[in-house]
Chains A and B, each alone.
Chain A
Amino acid sequence: DIVMTQSPDSLAVSLGERATINCKSSQSVLYSSNNKNYLAWYQQKPGQSPRLLIYWASTRESGVPDRFSGSGSGTDFTLTISSLQAEDVAVYYCQQYHTTPPAFGQGTKVEIK
C-alpha cells in the first residue's frame, strides 16, 4: 500500500503571507502512460466536510481561488496558498488515487499567526 506523509503537521502563517504544505508518497503516483500524477488535495474547515481543491496534482477544481496551487511529481508534492486569508484556516489533506487502497496524508493544520 502507498503511504502518504505530510509536513509539517501544523503551521501558523500571518495574513497575506505564503503557506506551504508538503506531501510525500512512499511510491511514485505518476503514471507513465499518460504522464499524470494521481494526487489530490482537500481542505476541511472546522465542523465541515472535506472539499476538493486540486486534482492531477496541479489542476484547480472549479470555484477554488487561484491563491491555491499544487505542484510536484512522482513522490513529492506541494500545496501553496500564496496569500493566506482568514477563511483558509483549515486542515489540508493530500490523497493518492494511483493505487487501491486510496490513501490520505495525516493532515496539516493551518492557522493564523
Chain B
Amino acid sequence: EVHLLESGGVLVQPGGSLRLSCAASGLTFSSYAMSWVRQAPGKGLEWVSSITDSGIYTYYADSVKGRFTISRDNSKNTLYLQMNSLRAEDTAIYYCAKVTGPRGWFDYWGQGTLVTVSS
C-alpha cells in the first residue's frame, strides 16, 4: 500500500524559510513524478510544484517560482520542498502527491502538513 507522510510544517515569520519533507513507502519511488499541492484555510486546491521521476525536470506555479525549490532523494524515498521568502499567502496545508505517468493525475496523497506564515 502506498503511503506518503509529510513533515516540517510549522509557524514561521514572514520572510523566513522552511523545508518540507515527504517520506514515501509502498511504491518504487524512483519510477514516479511527484508533486506538492497546497490548500489555504477554507479554500480550494492549488498545485505548487512537480518533479520528474529522475529529478531532472522541475515545474513551479508562478506564485512560488523563484522562492520555492522542489527536489527528491530517490535513495531515501523522500520528496522535499524548500520554501524561502515566505509570505502570509503561503499559509496552507501542503500535500505531497504521487503523479501517474509523466503528466497525469494525482493518485495518492499524503495527510498534509500545515505551514503558517505569521508574525
* Chain A residues engaging chain B, CB cutoff 8 angstroms: 38, 40, 42, 44, 49-52, 55, 61, 91, 93, 95, 97, 100-107
Contacts and interface: CB of A to CB of B under 8 A. Distances in A.
Contacts of B104: 55, 97
Interface residues of B, number: 22
Interface in B61-114: 61-62, 95, 100, 103-112
Given A44-B45, A107-B45, 8 more contacts: A50-B37, A50-B95, A55-B100, A61-B107, A93-B45, A100-B59, A101-B59, A102-B47
Nearest to B60: A101
10 contacts: A38-B103, A40-B105, A42-B106, A49-B95, A55-B105, A55-B107, A97-B103, A101-B62, A103-B47, A104-B45
B106 A49 contact: no
B44 interface: yes
Interface of B: 35, 37, 44-47, 50, 59, 61-62, 95, 100, 103-112
A100 B100 CA distance: 14
A61 B108 CA distance: 11
B17 to A, nearest CB: 23
Nearest to B109: A49
